[in-house]
Structure 1
Amino acid sequence: MSVSSVSVDLYSEKQLQQLVEEISLRFFDKPFRHRAFFNRRLRTTGGRYHLQSHDIDFNPKVLEKHGMEELIGVVKHELCHYHLHLEKRGYQHKDRDFKELLKQTGGSRYVQPLTERKVSYHYYQCQDCGGMIRRQRRVNVSRYVCGSCRGRLVQVTKND
């Protein structure tokens, strides 16, 4: 199975294993001898390399939301961790070896967002100076005052 001819259909575990093995040989000139699998419990990360077992699990949402190209970037990223760790070289994100190998292979540094993050805000208005204050967490208005004039705060409703 060629990397470029792979469809965007949801992969089976066997197809994912073949893809990871092929990318490993093609871009790293080294075989991938462990297990690659999907893990639906991953939330914000695209993939995870396990130091003890040397297995790699991938978030299926990467393929579902962003397609094959993004998944291939994540596979390359995790294979950088894999091969560098087995060679006893710097495999962490902060290490120069990791950054250089990631750049050489064209792996992705970060995965595109996988979840929609909607932040709601609480709005407060000072009764003395009329200043508006926006906070992610609620504020106890009987305890806190305006930072500019020390006036009393009142919660107001405002759509962002």
Structure 2
Amino acid sequence: MSNNKPTALIMKYLYSLILELGEKPDSLLSRLSYEEAMDWMNRLKRQAKEKAKAFQNHSSFHEQSVRAIDTSDHKELAWLGNQLSLTYYGRPCKVPIEWDKSLKNAAGFFAFNQHIHKPIRIVQSMWQYNQFGAQHVIGTLKHELAHYHLFIEGKPFRDEDEVFKQECKRIGAPLYALAMQEGYETSCAACGTFVGLEKKERKKLKSRCCKEPLRFGSYVLIFPNGVRVEVEK
């Protein structure tokens, strides 16, 4: 069995598929070789494709085929959101679906006015798209569409509501956004104290403890559940 490391992109995609299909990520993720990660990812992709087919109407849209999204304007994102809305709910989304370049602490959100019961828009983080790819955006849009459709139907629609959780499970939407940490593990060259993660190896950086250069170690992903995975950048 090969012990070569999976790439960061493969592990991000694998994690998003695990959440999308309602499986629980566990410590096994930290021990996967490249081949094992690819096998698991391909198996989940087939499952996700089969699940999506169960909801397909007469539209020719297939969400698993989306590999890249134009971020120069909102048009393609809005089109994707409407295709998902038609596929899973049989009706369009009638609010704007827009990119947000500065949103980093969330994958996206559904904006609404509770007082006059009016949906306003769905927002998708462009930063998270650049981090995790198109399939993460698909999952986020499905999550936000579940908020939107439950809201306009007058049903419980918040993250903590059981109705919402069941709706996400029904359409294969993740319950939570990805919030991964990624970078080289760094430590103080003098005392060995762990300093943090750095995306790039920079010789000029120094530790706060001893004011000495940093030692750069393995490149890792740390998943939202705390699992640490050594990967190829």
TM-score, normalisation: structure 2:
0.48
Task: Tell me, in whole angstroms, the C-alpha distance in 1 between the residues paired with 2:183 and 2:159.
Answer: 25
Residue 38 in 1 paired to residue 104 in 2? no
Task: Tell me, in whole angstroms, the C-alpha distance in 2 between the residues paired with 1:48 and 1:113.
Answer: 15
Work out which structure has the larger RCO, using CA pairs closer than 8 Å and 6 or more positions apart in sequence.
2
Residue 7 in 1 paired to residue 103 in 2? no
Structure that is richer in strand per residue:
2
* Structure 1 residue ranges, 4+ long, deviating more than 6 angstroms after superposition: none
The amino acid of 2:172's aligned partner reads: G
Q: What does 1:11-90 correspond to in 2, within 5 Å?
A: 11=71, 12-52=73-113, 53-90=119-156
Aligned pair count reads 134
Structure that is richer in helix per residue:
2
The offset of 1:62, in angstroms, is 2.3
Q: Check whether the contact 1:48–1:56 (CA below 8 A) recurs between aligned residues.
A: yes
- Cα 1:113–1:85 shift into 2, 3 Å: same
Task: Tell me, in whole angstroms, the C-alpha distance in 2 between the residues paired with 1:45 and 1:117.
Answer: 20
TM-score, normalisation: structure 1:
0.68
Q: Check whether the contact 1:80–1:91 (CA below 8 A) recurs between aligned residues.
A: yes
Task: Tell me, in whole angstroms, the C-alpha distance in 2 between the residues paired with 1:115 and 1:18.
Answer: 30
Aligned-residue Cα RMSD (Å) equals 3.3
Q: For 1:54, what is the secondary structure of its paired residue?
A: strand
Task: Tell me, in whole angstroms, the C-alpha distance in 2 between the residues paired with 1:9 and 1:35.
Answer: 17
Which consecutive unaligned segments of at least 5 residues does structure 1 have?
122-133, 135-155
Q: For 2:92, what is the secondary structure of its paired residue?
A: coil
- Cα 1:117–1:83 shift into 2, 3 Å: farther
Q: What does 1:96-111 correspond to in 2, within 5 Å?
A: 96-111=162-177
- Cα 1:55–1:9 shift into 2, 3 Å: closer
Q: Check whether the contact 2:69–2:77 (CA below 8 A) recurs between aligned residues.
A: no
Which consecutive unaligned segments of at least 5 residues does structure 2 have?
1-59, 114-118, 188-193, 195-208, 216-233
- Cα 1:84–1:9 shift into 2, 3 Å: closer
Q: Check whether the contact 2:64–2:135 (CA below 8 A) recurs between aligned residues.
A: no
Q: For 1:24, what is the secondary structure of its paired residue?
A: helix
The offset of 1:114, in angstroms, is 5.8
Offset from partner CA, 1:107-131 (integer Å, 9 cap, x none): 011222266599x99xxxxxxxxxx
Task: Tell me, in whole angstroms, the C-alpha distance in 2 between the residues paired with 1:37 and 1:50.
Answer: 11
Task: Tell me, in whole angstroms, the C-alpha distance in 2 between the residues paired with 1:23 and 1:7.
Answer: 15
Q: Check whether the contact 2:159–2:165 (CA below 8 A) recurs between aligned residues.
A: yes
Q: For 1:51, what is the secondary structure of its paired residue?
A: strand
Q: For 2:179, what is the secondary structure of its paired residue?
A: coil
